[in-house]
C-alpha cells in the first residue's frame, strides 16, 4: 500500500481505441476516519469502519501506513485504545467485537457478544468499552475475555469516552445530546453538559478540561467539567467523529477521512485531506451535475473536481445510509440504502420513505413510464416500489445489485453472484449477457449497455441489438485488491444496515460514462473521443 493512497495498482488504466478515461477526483488516502488515538510511537492511529482498515499517520512526514489491512481479522474497526504494554484494543462496531493487536502484529479476539461495540479506553491498565446503540451498555472488560462488569445499561447511543483527571469515566450520549460521567467503582452517573451539537467523543486536555467533537454541528468544544461552561475551539463541517492529543497538539477526525489540527484562535490546519469513503451509486441530474451516494454523505461533483456535501447522516431530511441513487427532477432523487427506498431533496433538506422492509437495497432506477425498481441483494429479488409498498418483479436471483431500463421499458438486472445481466419478463428472466466475473453498476445509453465488472476490473459495453461485446476500459480501480477477500459489514440500526461495496455507474447528457472507483475512492469519467 502506498504512503499516499489507500489502494495502488502497478497496472495503468487501459482503454480501447476511441475512448479516454480520467479521474475527476483524487484517490482517497483513507476509507473515511472514525476513532483516532495517538500511539506509543507518536503516530495517530485511525480506525476506518468502511474499509476494515487501521492506518497510522506520521505527523512529521505525512506518510500513512496501513497497520491492519482490509481482509485481515479486524473487521469494521471503529475506535482504538492502547494498553501500557503497547497492545492496541479495537472495537469492531459492525460485528459487535473487541479485539487486541499486539505490537508484533498478532491479533486475538477478546469478546464477540457486544452489539454496537464502539467507545473504548484504557486507564491504569483497565479496559472500558461501550455499545453505541439504543439500550447500549458501558462495561469494564478483562483482557482475557472474561465476563464483563456492566457499569451502566439502557444508554441512548454512548460513544467515544475517556477517564478524566478526577478518575471518573466521561461518556457522550448521541441520543440525548449530553455528556455524562460515572465513577468506575460504582455510584450514580452525573450529567456534565447538555444541549450540545450531538457529542460523539470526549478527551481531556492538559488542564483537565473536556474537549469534545460534535458530529451534527461540526464544532470542537472545550467544556469545564466542574460547571459545564463551553468554549468553541473551532467550527468545522458536520461529520466530526473523534479526537486525540499528540502532546499539546489537538487533532480531530471526520467521516470524510480528513484529519484536522485545531490551532489557537479557532484556526485549523489540514493534517490529512479528505476524500470519498466508498463511493457507491452515481446519478446525473437535469443540469448535468453528477451526484454521489457515499454512505454517510450525499455529494455533488462540480466541474474541476470540487466535491460539495449536500447532506450527511445527521442532517435534516437525510434518508439514512445512501447507496443507490437516481435523479427524478426538480432537485429530487430516489435513494436506496439499508432496507428502504426514499425520495430525497437535499436543497430543501427533506426526505420521505417510499418503501421499507427490504433486506439490502442496492441499485434503484426509474422506467420510462415512471415506475421505480430496486435491487434487494439480501433477499435476491428486484421489487417495484409504489404506494408505500413493494411488489415482486423478479425473484430467486443471485445477489442482484443493480437495475437499469432500456428505452422500451425492459428492466435489466445485474446478478453479481451469477456473473450475468438478465432481463425481467412477464414469465421470468432472460439472460442478456453472461460470462462476467462480478457485475455491479449498469446503465443504458443509446441502446448500449455499460457494465462495471468489478471481478475483471473492467467496463464492458454491449450492443443490445447485436449483442456485440467490447471491453472499453481495463485495470479500473474497482472492487477489492487482488488476493483480498472482503468481509461483510453487518451494520447496526439505526445508523446503518449491512454495508458493502457497490461500484456504481451513470451517464451524462453528453454521453460521458461516470464510474465509482470504489477501490481507491475516486470518480472516473469514460468518454468517447471525437
Q: Domain 282-480: give its CATH architecture.
A: 6 Propeller (2.120)
What's the mean pLDDT in 463-485? 89
Q: The cell 503497547 sits on which residue?
A: 86
DSSP letter, residue 499: B
Given pLDDT bands bounded at 50, 70 and 90, which one contains residue 11? confident
**Exposure class string for 278-290: b at 16+ Cβ within 10 A, else e:** bbbbbbbbeeeeb
Residue of 237, 200, 231 lying closest to 217 (CA atoms): 237
Least confident interval from 8-12, 52-56, 242-246, 288-292: 8-12
Q: Residue 5: pLDDT above 70?
A: no
List the chain domain ranges: 29-272, 282-480
| Per-residue pLDDT tens digits for 330-371 | 999 999 998 899 999 999 999 999 999 999 999 999 999 999
| Per-residue pLDDT tens digits for 174-228 | 999 999 999 999 889 999 999 999 999 999 999 999 999 999 999 999 999 999 9
Given pLDDT bands bounded at 50, 70 and 90, which one contains residue 493? low
Q: Residue 1: pLDDT above 60?
A: no
C-alpha distance across the termini of the chain, in Å: 37
Q: Which CATH number fits domain 29-272: 2.60.120.380, 2.130.10.10, 1.10.10.10, 2.60.120.10?
A: 2.130.10.10
Q: What is the mean pLDDT of the chain?
A: 93
Angle at 90 between CA 84 and CA 95, to 5 degrees: 160
The pLDDT value given to residue 494: 65
Contact 366, 326 (CB under 8 A): yes
Residues near 358 by beta carbon (within 8 Å), at least 6 away in sequence: 336, 339, 340, 341, 374, 376, 378, 379, 383, 390
Residue of 230, 206, 208, 207 lying closest to 220 (CA atoms): 230
Residue of 373, 353, 361 lying closest to 281 (CA atoms): 361
Q: Residue 7: pLDDT above 80?
A: no
**Exposure class string for 225-241: b at 16+ Cβ within 10 A, else e:** beeeebeebbebebbbb
What's the mean pLDDT in 293-306? 89
Least confident interval from 14-18, 56-60, 301-305: 301-305
Three-state secondary structure of 344-394: EECCCCEEEEEECCCCCEEEEEECCCCCEEEEECCCCEEEEEECCEEEEEE
Q: How much of the chain exceeds pLDDT 70, in percent?
A: 97
Q: Residue 96: pLDDT above 50?
A: yes
Model pTM score: 0.92
Q: How far is CA 255 from CA 116, 237, 507, in A?
A: 17, 10, 28
What is the β-pairing status of strands 199-204 and 210-214? antiparallel
Show contacts of 392-399: CB within 8 Å, 24+ apart.
393/424, 394/422, 394/424, 394/428, 394/429, 397/422, 397/429
Angle at 99 between CA 97 and CA 104, to 5 degrees: 160
The CA R_g of the chain, rounded to the nearest whole Å, is 23
Amino acid at each position: 500500500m502506498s504512503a499516499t493512497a489507500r489502494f495502488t495498482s502497478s497496472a495503468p488504466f487501459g482503454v480501447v481505441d476511441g475512448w479516454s478515461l480520467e479521474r475527476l477526483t483524487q484517490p482517497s488516502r483513507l476509507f473515511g476516519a472514525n476513532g483516532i488515538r495517538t500511539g506509543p510511537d507518536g503516530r495517530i492511529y485511525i480506525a476506518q469502519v468502511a474499509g476494515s482498515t487501521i492506518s497510522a499517520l506520521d505527523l512529521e512526514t505525512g506518510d500513512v501506513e496501513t497497520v491492519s489491512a482490509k481482509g485481515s481479522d479486524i473487521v469494521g474497526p471503529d475506535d482504538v485504545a492502547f494498553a501500557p504494554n503497547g497492545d492496541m484494543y479495537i472495537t469492531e462496531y459492525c460485528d459487535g467485537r473487541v479485539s487486541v493487536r499486539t505490537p508484533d502484529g498478532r491479533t486475538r479476539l477478546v469478546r464477540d457478544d457486544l452489539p454496537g461495540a464502539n467507545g473504548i479506553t484504557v486507564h491504569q491498565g483497565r479496559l472500558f468499552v461501550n455499545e453505541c446503540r439504543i439500550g447500549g451498555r458501558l462495561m469494564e472488560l478483562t483482557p482475557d475475555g472474561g465476563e464483563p462488569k456492566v457499569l451502566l445499561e439502557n444508554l441512548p447511543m454512548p460513544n467515544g469516552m475517556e477517564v478524566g483527571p478526577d478518575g471518573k469515566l466521561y461518556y457522550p450520549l448521541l441520543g440525548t445530546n449530553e455528556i455524562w460521567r460515572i465513577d468506575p467503582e460504582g455510584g450514580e452517573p452525573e450529567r456534565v453538559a447538555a444541549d450540545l451539537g450531538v457529542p460523539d467523543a470526549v478527551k481531556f486536555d492538559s488542564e483537565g478540561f473536556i474537549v469534545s467533537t460534535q458530529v451534527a454541528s461540526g464544532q470542537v468544544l472545550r467544556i469545564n467539567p466542574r460547571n459545564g461552561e463551553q468554549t468553541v475551539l473551532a467550527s468545522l463541517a458536520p461529520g466530526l467523529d473523534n479526537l486525540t492529543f499528540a502532546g499539546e497538539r489537538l487533532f480531530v477526525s471526520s467521516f470524510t477521512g480528513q484529519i484536522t489540527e485545531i490551532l489557537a484562535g479557532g484556526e485549523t490546519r489540514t493534517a490529512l485531506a479528505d476524500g470519498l469513503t466508498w463511493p457507491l451509486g452515481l446519478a446525473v441530474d437535469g443540469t448535468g451535475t453528477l451526484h454521489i451516494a457515499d454512505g454517510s454523505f450525499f455529494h455533488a461533483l462540480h466541474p474541476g473536481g470540487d466535491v460539495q456535501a449536500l447532506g450527511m447522516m445527521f442532517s435534516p431530511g437525510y434518508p439514512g445510509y445512501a447507496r443507490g441513487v437516481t435523479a427524478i427532477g426538480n432537485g429530487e432523487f430516489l435513494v436506496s440504502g439499508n432496507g428502504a427506498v426514499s425520495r430525497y431533496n437535499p436543497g430543501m433538506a427533506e426526505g420521505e420513505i417510499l418503501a421499507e422492509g427490504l433486506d439490502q437495497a442496492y441499485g434503484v432506477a426509474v422506467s420510462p413510464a415512471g415506475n421505480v425498481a430496486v435491487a434487494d441483494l439480501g433477499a435476491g429479488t428486484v421489487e417495484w416500489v409504489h404506494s408505500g409498498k413493494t411488489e415482486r418483479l423478479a425473484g430467486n436471483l443471485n445477489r442482484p445489485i443493480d437495475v437499469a431500463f432500456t428505452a422500451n421499458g425492459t428492466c435489466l438486472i445485474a446478478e453479481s453472484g451469477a456473473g450475468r445481466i438478465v432481463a425481467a419478463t412477464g414469465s421470468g428472466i432472460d439472460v442478456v449477457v453472461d460470462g462476467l466475473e462480478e457485475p455491479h453498476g449498469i446503465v443504458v445509453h443509446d441502446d448500449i449497455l455499460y457494465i462495471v465488472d468489478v471481478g475483471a476490473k473492467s467496463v464492458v459495453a454491449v450492443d443490445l441489438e447485436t449483442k456485440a461485446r467490447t471491453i472499453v476500459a481495463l485495470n479500473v480501480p474497482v472492487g477489492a485488491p487482488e488476493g483480498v477477500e472482503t468481509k461483510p459489514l453487518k451494520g447496526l440500526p439505526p445508523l446503518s444496515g449491512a454495508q458493502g461495496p457497490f461500484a456504481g455507474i451513470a451517464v451524462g447528457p453528453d454521453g460521458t460514462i461516470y464510474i465509482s472507483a470504489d477501490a481507491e475512492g475516486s470518480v472516473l469519467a469514460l468518454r468517447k473521443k471525437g
